[in-house]
């Protein structure tokens, strides 16, 4: 049975927030970090609390910590050594594995996210701009009166119109395909795959292979925890629009090329089910917009190219061990929308996302290394993910077509990674465990 009252809400619920802030923090002293945490721990909703108060709540807090942050709070060296290597090393040290090279390399990241003094994140989601201001003011007041903890940087979030569904700055509908956990109370929508064992996402439960060994100790710290890979992707909207114009004959073919890159139309309608024209009703229907496969319905990619973003990130029935690769995605957009027809204004805008899983290497790093940035994915030969893969101007994108395929040469970068980190997402009891640490316990 999932312990809903001991799991931070972000793992099991999606709040109706349209704005918020990610606050990145550093602990100058263990006492300061624990004092900050002690004031926030009772404000973090569990999954039980969030679900019970969703209609009347307007602000939600989630807390996560880097490995250096756990050390800075006073977690013992014995305990720290039991965390997995990828988390201990941190995302910047894994750059070569993740494909974070060139313009995406950690030395180009903003907000101090590549440094060892990144210790924690406070995710402050809000339903309205007014409530967001209140949440930020309250947290600023907490920082001002708490010695030994300070803000390293922050990122303000905002949804862009239309507000009736989530979408990125390129205009593509978001939040379309998420795994479902057994015992969560959710039922998978058609085509989304079977409900998965909770241990694929939350520590302390069996995963698809059975009981999980070698979890971090003590159990009070790791129980109902998880790992989050944070990725801040700047979206080059003007570059994307210009590429579509220059490589299309008319607006309709621009939209088709955009869909070929993504694997779905901007409405969310999948190319496998709507290969020739957009179908907004299909895109908006959760009972239909995932009800397809690749192996039988589109084996050669004539509808959805083999290297499209959606096909790479969820190969469905064309990949082995898919149940061991699924991840939960949360996040939001930042920056103002670029008006249609407007030239590049130089403003930073994009997606700031969390990829949540129980095993950073088997799930997140595998997806980055093998699905997103492997040039030989599906034997393509010289391609990365066209949307979020590392692009240096030497790679291609192939659109299968009869009788002659179309190969887009020297694809530009439509996104650039400007920050990232690995966070541990403690359970509710673990948050209290961390807040109650003292210097004598931390040395044992």
Tens digit of pLDDT for each residue in 188-223? 999 999 999 999 999 999 999 999 999 999 999 999
What pLDDT band is residue 363 in, cutting at 50, 70 and 90?
very high
CA–CA separation, 371 vs 338, rounded Å? 30
| pLDDT score at 331 | 87
As a whole number, mean pLDDT of residues 284-305 equals: 96
CA–CA separation, 27 vs 278, rounded Å? 50
Q: What is the pLDDT of residues 145-191, one digit of tens each?
A: 999 999 999 999 998 877 788 899 999 998 888 899 999 999 999 99
Residue 167, beta-bridge partner list: 173
As a whole number, mean pLDDT of residues 228-246 equals: 98
β-pairing, 415-425 with 328-334?
unpaired
CA–CA separation, 252 vs 278, rounded Å? 10
Closest C-alpha to 51, from 20, 18, 19, 11: 11
CA–CA separation, 394 vs 425, rounded Å? 38
| pLDDT score at 440 | 54
| pLDDT score at 221 | 97
Query: Is pLDDT of 443 > 70?
Result: no
Average pLDDT over the chain, rounded to whole? 95
φ/ψ of residue 150, rounded to 5 = -150, 160
pTM over 0.75: yes
| pLDDT score at 444 | 39
Q: What is the pLDDT of residues 101-131, one digit of tens each?
A: 999 999 999 999 999 999 999 999 999 999 9
Torsion of CA 394, 250, 168, 279, to 10 degrees: -120
| pLDDT score at 161 | 79
| pLDDT score at 150 | 97
Q: Which residue has the higher pLDDT, 60 or 163?
A: 60
Q: Which residue has the higher pLDDT, 444 or 252?
A: 252
Q: Give the sign of the dihedral formed by CA 264, CA 398, CA 316, CA 299.
A: positive
| pLDDT score at 406 | 95
């Amino acid at each position: 049975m999932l312990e809903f009252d001991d799991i931070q809400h972000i793992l099991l619920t999606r709040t109706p927030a349209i704005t918020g802030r990610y606050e990145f923090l550093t602990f100058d002293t263990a006492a300061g970090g624990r004092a900050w945490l002690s004031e926030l721990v009772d404000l973090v909703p569990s999954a039980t609390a969030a679900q019970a108060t969703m209609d009347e709540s307007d602000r939600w807090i989630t807390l996560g910590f880097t490995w250096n942050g756990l050390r800075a709070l006073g977690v013992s060296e014995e305990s720290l050594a039991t965390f997995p290597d990828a988390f201990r090393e941190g995302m910047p040290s894994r750059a070569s594995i993740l494909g974070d090279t060139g313009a995406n390399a950690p030395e180009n990241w903003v907000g101090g996210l590549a440094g060892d003094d990144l210790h924690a994140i406070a995710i402050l989601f809000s339903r309205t701009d007014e409530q967001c201001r209140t949440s930020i003011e309250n947290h600023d007041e907490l920082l001002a009166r708490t010695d030994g903890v300070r803000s390293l940087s922050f990122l303000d979030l905002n949804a862009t119109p239309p507000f009736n569904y989530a979408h990125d700055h390129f205009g593509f509908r978001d939040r379309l395909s998420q795994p479902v956990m057994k015992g969560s109370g959710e039922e998978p929508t058609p085509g989304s795959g079977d409900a998965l064992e909770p241990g694929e996402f939350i520590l302390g439960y069996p995963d698809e292979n059975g009981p999980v060994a070698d979890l971090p100790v003590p159990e009070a710290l790791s129980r109902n925890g998880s790992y989050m890979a944070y990725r801040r992707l700047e979206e080059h909207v003007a570059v994307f629009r210009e590429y579509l114009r220059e490589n299309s004959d008319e607006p309709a073919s621009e939209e088709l090329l955009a869909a070929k890159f993504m694997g779905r139309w901007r409405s969310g309608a999948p190319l496998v089910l709507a290969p020739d024209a957009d179908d907004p009703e299909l895109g908006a229907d959760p009972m239909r917009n995932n009800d397809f496969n690749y192996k039988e319905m589109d084996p050669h990619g004539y509808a959805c190219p083999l290297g499209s973003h959606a096909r790479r990130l969820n190969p469905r029935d064309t990949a082995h061990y898919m149940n061991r690769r699924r991840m939960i995605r949360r996040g939001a957009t930042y920056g103002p929308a670029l008006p249609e027809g407007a030239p590049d204004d130089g403003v930073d805008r994009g997606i700031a996302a969390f990829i949540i899983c129980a095993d950073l290497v088997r799930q997140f790093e595998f997806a980055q290394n093998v699905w997103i940035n492997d040039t030989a994915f599906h034997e393509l030969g010289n391609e990365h993910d066209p949307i979020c893969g590392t692009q240096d101007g030497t790679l291609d994108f192939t659109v299968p077509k009869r009788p002659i395929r179309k190969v887009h040469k020297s694809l530009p970068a439509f996104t650039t990674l400007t920050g990232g980190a690995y966070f541990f997402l403690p359970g509710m009891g673990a948050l209290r465990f961390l807040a109650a640490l003292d210097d004598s316990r931390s040395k044992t």
